[in-house]
Amino acid sequence: MLRIACPYCGLRDEVEFRFGGPAHVARPGFEVDDATWADYLFVRENPAGLNFERWCHAYGCGSWFNLVRNTLTHEILLAYRMDSPKPALRT
Amino acid sequence: MRRGPFRIPAGGTLDRSRTVRFKFDARPYSGFAGDTLASALLGNAVRRVARSFKYHRPRGVFSSGIEEPNALLQLHRGARSIASERATMVELKEGLEAYPQSGWPSVRWDAARVFDLTAPLWAAGFYNKAFIWPSWHVYESLVRRMAGLGRAPDGADPDYYDVRNLHCDVLVVGGGVAGISAGIAAGGAGARVLLVEQQSALGGQCAWDGAAIAGRSALSWLDTAVERLRQLPDVKVLTRTMAVGHYDHGVVSLVQRGDDGAEAPRETLYVVRTGKLILATGAIEQPLVFCNNDRPGIMLAGAAREYVRRYAVAPGRQVLVATNNNSAYATARDLKDAGVEVIGIADSRADPSAELDLDLRSLGIPVFSGFIPIDTAGFGGLRAVTIGKLSQDGLAVASRKEFACDALAVSGGWNPTLHLHSQGGGNLVYSELTGALEAAAVRSTTVGLVGSAAGINRIDEVVRHAGATAAALAATTASTGAVATGLQEPAQKTLTGAVASFGLRISPVGNTARKWVDLLHDVTVADLELAVRENFVSVEHVKRLTTAGMAADQGKTSTVLTLENIARLRGLRPADLGHTTFRPPFTPVTLGSIAAGDVGEYFAPRRHLPTHAWHAQRGAVFQDFGEWLRPVAYLRGAESRAQAATRETHAVRAAAGVFDGSPLGKIEVHGPDALEFLNKFYINDLSTLKPQRVRYVMMLRESGAIFDDGTVVMLAPDHFLVTTTSGQAARVTEWLEEWHQCEWPQLNVAIVPITDQWATFSLTGPRAREILATFETNIDLSNSAFPHSCLRVGHLAGIAARVYRVSFSGELTYEINVASTHAQTFMDALMSIGICPEIAPFGLDALLAMRLEKGFLHIGTDTDGTTVPDDVGWGAVAARKQQDFIGRRSLVLPENLRADRLQMVGLASLKDEDLQPGSHVRLPDSVEATDGWVTSAARGTLDGRPIGLAMLRAGRRRLGTELSVHDMGRVTAARVVALPFFDSTGARMNA
Amino acid sequence: MQRYSFPNLLWQALRGNKGWRPVWREPRLKKSYDVVVIGAGGHGLAAAYYLARKHGIRNVAVLERGWIGGGNSGRNTQVTRSNYFHPVSSSFYDHSLRLYEGLGSELNFNIMLSQRGLIQLAHSEHELEIIRRWCNANRMNKVDSEILSPAEIKRLAPPINLCARFPIIGGFIQRRAGISRHDAVVWGYARAASALGVDIVQNCEATGFEIAGDRVRGVHTINGSVSAPRVLMCVAGYSSHMGSLAGLRLPITTMALQAMVTEPVKPVLNVVINSATVHAYLSQSDRGEIVIGGGADIYNSYAQRGGLSQQRAVISAVLELFPSFSRLRLMRQWAGRVDITPDTSPLMGLTPVAGLYINCGWGTGGYKAIPAGGDTMAYTVANDRAHSLIESFSLARFARGALIDEGAAAGVAH
């Protein structure tokens, strides 16, 4: 069971959160072609390793934030606020 | 009642003043307070307690702990029955009833022993190679009846279970000498400590093994230590508690057995969040492998020692001890001291005297150096053992000796209990030195191993090492400090529990089909040979083909032996075979203890309407709608639900009725950017919204599929009210928040869900205005001042109210919102108006029938996760909007523009038969299997005609077409008709 | 291939079982093949088998980075059914079920196909309507399906609790559905394919592709490179990674799907029970274990382990349905790596790289599809053209918005 550090509330259990898919995905404008739009809607990096992802503290403060988590080990490296820029991590 | 000849008259830690009566296999026996079921059975000379899984060979108690592979018994009958209870783990209680789980007609004489006599037929994987013709179905019932150990209870579990949550800095698993020492050190260092012990008291082995710690008796040391624990300010001790699962991020699950009080939970799940984990979990003894090594009377040497010292039970009258290491010598000595005849010790090592720190002659027991058991005899239980002198290379046997005996205590070394370490990601590595799976480098610096789990057995060293390890662990922050595991300990020369070196533990001679490796699943060395022969060479393939290690004991006394055999057969070293990984649970735990009370009413909460009791009093029939309990109809007298709904509909159409719509989703959106924000969500262009004008709106997912519908009204340029469907109230709120926080945080808005804070009552029908006008109110209710699709804010009878004129029923409707706390007051006020026959409450059945007649969209019934706006007639609205909104781009993907999409249409049945929602429809010229389905159906309120709504392929082009309607093989017919069925001008709604 | 039969079992037993031969060969990897299949799970092995059996293409290698069937094929809950909603899904899965029905004989390996039925429960009137629509959809597609009343459900599953927190008010059954033995299916296909000349190479991880001019030429492995004009990729749990090595961008999210079994008991449940409302499904294996599954742990994971909270939720759901199972013990739990697509339908067929074919995205439902997955992909590889049964499952469907969404159609919110 994951324990996730909400940037506002601190370390809480997985059940208080909802997963929100990949972070830092730019929403394209209306004018893009079908393939680009489908790419935005459906394609995922799905890395085996460090993943930048969104979470919502749904049963807590309700805030959305970003997490850097290793999808192989579930180790959480970093939690940062939604309005923070994407951190550059030394791998 | 028999006491049995194997009970030693003196000694043990039992309370002999309290006799405990119990039954096994319907026969009465007695034991003492402090016995386990296993020790009491042994004390009563009950040798055969089970028949083996495949071959139905007789089996007896093999161990004294959690690793027991034979004595799995059914306890009790009825709803409280428990299958496969390990007799070694059951505290003997008065009136206990235990039953064997196999053996027909009895466990002592089993007709299915014939499988043993035909054993080669049932080798590993036999079921893959037969039962193919004519089909598996022919054989399956019989095989299913023969499989399975024990029976499921025949009624709902009458006991209850609970869950508790704990936080600590250091969790110590195991309350023996090592665990207690660690707990004292960690607690003394100021950490918050949780110490858990699976037995009912602390102490572990030292409570009975007569050791000396720091120069005094272990019991004396124990008393002092327990008192020290009690005095420490933040140390909590849980007994009868087993740690079963180690999960991510320091989460550990514990299961505590309740005391047998009526009020207590039978089992309690503790979910612990800990910073550090110390495993003082001990080690499990492994057996020796030789022909017929499974007979009743053969047991682990450490268990034999525990039975003698702790339970005053002798495993037999004439006992032979066989070992490959030092630890069994203590067993031999203790047996002899208790007056049991010990025939001798067969030690597979060539010269054990060099390893022991005692003079063998002073033991007074013959030692057969270089000897290993090679066979046993005794059809119903052990009668004799043959030992063989190993050749120099260990591959053959030079000479043999045979002994008559009824018990054989075997020791093949000790395997540290590292399941929790492995579960947490710690690697296990096979050690050539000890023949055990030991911890490799500790993966996380938050786990420590102490005691025999760390390979440390000398008692004073255990105390010192555990204390030092715990103190160091408690002091470090999570990211620094490696922890000693004792792997660098030099070889130890000691008598008690030491594994200084080990000799051979697999006999090199004899029929491999008679050498058991996994007792519980009846797997022999021949099965492993067959697996390798057939190219199932990886450990996982061997396990799956032979099922070794996959039984309820999870391979606790077979895993390393299986690995050694596979390695030997493949010409490899065990360490080359790859990782062994353990997963939770450490030992099987009841489903009840995992659900831990989240069942029944605690499975999911119920939400009640603010005026629930009022509805109930009026005969409401409630149904689940998501979590909400809502009235579908109100029964009067002997009415059926359908009759009630018809009556309600007539009442509403004729005069008035009231519908409780409180679950309706309600959200306030405030802020200077509220309009711009909301406009990003709906297919409707909100920029033309006028104050207090209500707009019906539709919201999409980014894929273009309809997510929800509802209304938006502007109270002020920075204050909007949003409504959603009842089912999506929470999801729409979350959706708005998600996009605001993640995509458009620059927009200055606040989103406030108010669904629960406001109750909603729809006063519906031609006389609704007349009724409302009798309230004292500041709202001008005339149609010119308050037309349809408007909102007015004011008060009714002194209660603050927001009143919408919107209609889902198609009748004149005032949707009145008042604070939930005033809901009942308002309802009472409404009902006390006496100007017309009692205002009938009407339920969902009536409402949905009325809305169907109007062809109004019901999200989730007429739509599913693939429906786009154009499918239900809202395509033009979406296409008109110039601004971008969520889902807009998807609406022009090719699939969403297809002409043959399913579209919403009205249906009129051509017979006087109700249309059935879920029926499928086909066009007369169709080439497809189906052309759509009926989504909802009702009888017309005024003419009683059967009508319905359907999604039909290219439906809008099919007005007037006759369709065949298919439901469960019955075919009827319907015609596609225009919507609405009723009041097409909307005159009633707009009155 | 040694014949499996009871007389032969007896004959070999009399010889001390020393006469049994390897179930599949252990060949050395050659330098080139006509077809390379990456992934020796059920789908990969089945494809290789049908290539050899039906299309006469035997110069095939199946490369497996670990041991065959070690991925999801060896971790699933063995449910075998074909009651899908969409016509294209219905056709595909029923083709698979029909292949399953003859598979034991065809492969001469007992796959223990047990067709005692699968019941989908309805806990509310709305759900009952959805069930009816689903059941009728099956019937319109000529797949066996019938509505059941609560009394009928109770007769088929006596320990079920009709009056749980969410009462059971009906359901529907596919009688031809049930369970089979996952390891046997993998081993059966492996044995038959190997006997036909297919090389199954274990401990041979594929590390990349040789692609020139938008056409695949071969595969690089840790044991050397292999040239092949056609390559089929079926590596559940690694599809994004493997796809990226070929320059493919896939709509996949990999998650952990937990499954668990109780200690085995005498027969107490003889149908498969599935409930969308409480999110759990269960059956009893022929060994007597109650086999339990539920939803995935919802976040990206390659760890092959799920969390305690999800496990508790699934077990609470099971006890809602079967309160008498509360005293049964959970014996073993594990997880697979499932590749979830946006519409929970698979990705099958051609890719933008000529000669490279894909079969993945099975999410939580790949086991029942093994025979049809193998058969249709064998056709596709042999003919360089998608089999008609899988045209709708192409990778290209997403750019058209042509999702085949079973979950959405079943009214299940995800």
Best of A64, A66, A71 to disrupt the B interface (most B CBs within 10 Å) is: A64
CA distance B240 to chain A (A): 24
Separation of alpha carbons B792 and B771, rounded Å: 17
Separation of alpha carbons C130 and B950, rounded Å: 13
**DSSP-based three-state secondary structure for C3:** coil
Q: What pLDDT is stored for residue B441 in this prediction?
A: 64
Of C216, C214, C299, C293, residue with least CA distance to C261: C293
Q: What pLDDT is stored for residue B355 in this prediction?
A: 72
Q: Which residue of B has its CA nearest to A64?
A: B741
Residue C23 and residue B535: Cβ atoms within 8 Å?
Answer: yes
Question: If you average pLDDT over residues A12-38, what whole number do you get?
Answer: 96
Q: What pLDDT is stored for residue B787 in this prediction?
A: 97
Nearest to B530 among C17, C24, C320 (CB): C17
Separation of alpha carbons B171 and B190, rounded Å: 13
Of B553, B569, B527, B557, residue with least CA distance to B119: B527
Structure tokens at C255: 């998650």
Contacts with C, B 210-249, CB within 8 Å: 245, 247-248
**DSSP-based three-state secondary structure for B623:** strand
**Per DSSP, which regions of chain A are E strands?**
3-6, 10-13, 18-22, 50-56, 64-70, 76-81
Residue B702 and residue A34: Cβ atoms within 8 Å?
Answer: no
CB-based contact C334:B583 (threshold 8 Å)? yes
Separation of alpha carbons B82 and B63, rounded Å: 20
Chain C contact set for A44 (CB, 8 A):
240, 250-253
Decide if A66 is inside a domain: yes
- A27 touching B (Cβ < 8 Å): yes
Number of domains chain A is built from: 1
**DSSP-based three-state secondary structure for B255:** strand
Chain C contact set for A19 (CB, 8 A):
298-299
Chain A / chain B CB contacts < 8 angstroms: 51
Categorize the per-residue pLDDT at B831 as very low, low, confident or very high, splitting at 50, 70 and 90.
Answer: confident
Mean pLDDT over the full length of chain C: 96
- Give the pLDDT confidence of B632-663 residue by residue, as tens digits: 999 999 999 999 999 999 999 999 999 999 99
Q: What pLDDT is stored for residue B834 in this prediction?
A: 67
Nearest to B738 among A20, A73, A76 (CB): A20
**DSSP-based three-state secondary structure for B958:** coil
- B896 touching C (Cβ < 8 Å): yes
Residue B583 and residue C108: Cβ atoms within 8 Å?
Answer: no
CB-based contact C247:C353 (threshold 8 Å)? yes
DSSP string, B115-139: HHHTGGGG-TTGGGSSS-SS-HHHH
Separation of alpha carbons B161 and B393, rounded Å: 56
Best of A8, A13, A27 to disrupt the B interface (most B CBs within 10 Å) is: A27
Rg (CA), chain A: 14
- Give the pLDDT confidence of B192-241 residue by residue, as tens digits: 999 999 999 999 999 999 889 989 999 999 999 999 999 999 999 999 99
Chain A contact set for C295 (CB, 8 A):
none
- Give the pLDDT confidence of B523-571 residue by residue, as tens digits: 999 999 999 999 999 999 999 999 999 999 999 999 999 999 999 999 9
User: Does A20 score more than 90 pLDDT?
Assistant: yes
Categorize the per-residue pLDDT at B266 as very low, low, confident or very high, splitting at 50, 70 and 90.
Answer: very high
Rg (CA), chain B: 38
CA distances from residue B50 to B29, B60, B84, B85 in whole angstroms, order as listed:
17, 7, 11, 12
Question: If you average pLDDT over residues B796-801, what whole number do you get?
Answer: 95
What residue spans in chain C does CATH classification 3.50.50.60 cover? 28-77+182-252+343-409
User: Does B491 score more than 50 pLDDT?
Assistant: no
Structure tokens at B949: 């709504």
Q: Which residues of C touch A (CB under 8 A)?
A: 238, 240-241, 249-254, 298-303, 307-309, 341-342, 398-401
Structure tokens at B291: 């022909």
Domain with residue A27: its CATH number is 3.30.2270.10
- A63 touching B (Cβ < 8 Å): yes
User: Does B309 score more than 80 pLDDT?
Assistant: yes
| Domain hosting residue A68, numbered range | 3-80
Chain A contact set for C299 (CB, 8 A):
2, 19, 53, 69
CA distance C141 to chain B (A): 6
Task: Cite the DSSP H helix spans in B32-164.
Answer: 37-43, 114-117, 136-146
CA distance A28 to chain C (A): 15
Nearest to B742 among A2, A28, A54 (CB): A54
Fold of C118-175+253-338: D-Amino Acid Oxidase; Chain A, domain 2 (3.30.9)
Residue A1 and residue C251: Cβ atoms within 8 Å?
Answer: no
Contacts with C, B 540-579, CB within 8 Å: 540-541, 544-545, 550, 552, 554
- A1 touching B (Cβ < 8 Å): yes
Lowest mean pLDDT among B201-210, B485-494, B775-784, C122-131: B485-494
Residue C327 and residue B253: Cβ atoms within 8 Å?
Answer: no
Q: What pLDDT is stored for residue B496 in this prediction?
A: 39
CB-based contact C228:C354 (threshold 8 Å)? no
Mean pLDDT over the full length of chain B: 93
Q: Which residue of A has its CA nearest to C300?
A: A71
**DSSP-based three-state secondary structure for C299:** coil
- The dihedrals phi and psi of C228, each to the nearest 5 degrees, come to -160, 135
Residue C267 and residue B554: Cβ atoms within 8 Å?
Answer: no
DSSP string, B399-445: EEEEEE-SEEEEE--EEE--HHHHHTT--EEEETTTTEEEE-S-SST
What residues have CB less than 8 Å from B957, skipping those under 6 apart?
none
Of B53, B54, B50, B74, residue with least CA distance to B62: B50
Q: How buried is residue B74: exposed, middle or buried, by Cβ count under 10 Å (0-12/13-18/19+)?
A: buried
Separation of alpha carbons B903 and B976, rounded Å: 12
Nearest to C17 among B123, B156, B860 (CB): B123
Q: Positive or negative, the Cα torsion across C268, C270, C272, C275?
A: negative
Separation of alpha carbons A7 and B449, rounded Å: 33
Q: What is the DSSP letter of B716?
A: E
- B133 touching C (Cβ < 8 Å): yes
CA distance B893 to chain A (A): 7
Q: What pLDDT is stored for residue B704 in this prediction?
A: 97
Tokens 């939400």, residue?
B607
The partner residues of C147 in beta bridges, in order of sequence, read C172
Chain C contact set for B144 (CB, 8 A):
267, 284, 286, 288
**Per DSSP, which regions of B525-619 are E strands?**
589-590, 607-608
- Give the pLDDT confidence of C247-276 residue by residue, as tens digits: 999 999 999 999 999 999 999 999 999 999
Question: If you average pLDDT over residues C401-413, what whole number do you get?
Answer: 72
Of B196, B202, B193, B191, residue with least CA distance to B173: B196
For residue C97, what is the enclosing H or E element?
helix C87-107
CA distance C114 to chain B (A): 6
How does strand B15-24 pair with strand B96-99?
Answer: parallel
**DSSP-based three-state secondary structure for B170:** strand
Question: If you average pLDDT over residues B32-47, what whole number do you get?
Answer: 96
Q: Which residue of A has its CA nearest to B740?
A: A64
Decide if A68 is inside a domain: yes
Chain B contact set for A18 (CB, 8 A):
734
Decide if A90 is inside a domain: no
- Give the pLDDT confidence of B410-465 residue by residue, as tens digits: 999 999 999 999 999 888 999 988 889 998 865 456 899 999 999 898 999 999 99
CA distances from residue C339 to B140, B466, C45, C244 in whole angstroms, order as listed:
33, 45, 19, 15
- A64 touching B (Cβ < 8 Å): yes
- C251 touching B (Cβ < 8 Å): no
What residue spans in chain C does CATH classification 3.30.9.10 cover? 118-175+253-338
- Give the pLDDT confidence of B334-390 residue by residue, as tens digits: 999 999 999 999 999 998 877 776 666 777 899 999 999 999 999 999 999 999 999
Question: If you average pLDDT over residues B735-762, what whole number do you get?
Answer: 97
CA distances from residue B978 to B915, B947, B955, B961, B981 in whole angstroms, order as listed:
17, 11, 11, 11, 7
Of B620, B651, B698, residue with least CA distance to B887: B698
Residue B889 and residue A54: Cβ atoms within 8 Å?
Answer: no
Categorize the per-residue pLDDT at B898 as very low, low, confident or very high, splitting at 50, 70 and 90.
Answer: very high
- Give the pLDDT confidence of C39-79 residue by residue, as tens digits: 999 999 999 999 999 999 999 999 999 999 999 999 999 99
Residue C263 and residue B601: Cβ atoms within 8 Å?
Answer: no
Separation of alpha carbons B107 and B57, rounded Å: 10
pTM: 0.95
- Give the pLDDT confidence of C220-246 residue by residue, as tens digits: 999 999 999 999 999 999 999 999 999
Q: Which residue of A has its CA nearest to C240?
A: A46
Q: Which residue of C has its CA nearest to A37?
A: C399
Residue B147 and residue C111: Cβ atoms within 8 Å?
Answer: no
Decide if A89 is inside a domain: no
Interface partners of chain B (CB pairs < 8 Å, 3 or more) are A, C
Categorize the per-residue pLDDT at C409 as very low, low, confident or very high, splitting at 50, 70 and 90.
Answer: low
Residue C253 and residue A19: Cβ atoms within 8 Å?
Answer: no
Structure tokens at B447: 């786990």
CATH annotation of C28-77+182-252+343-409 = 3.50.50.60
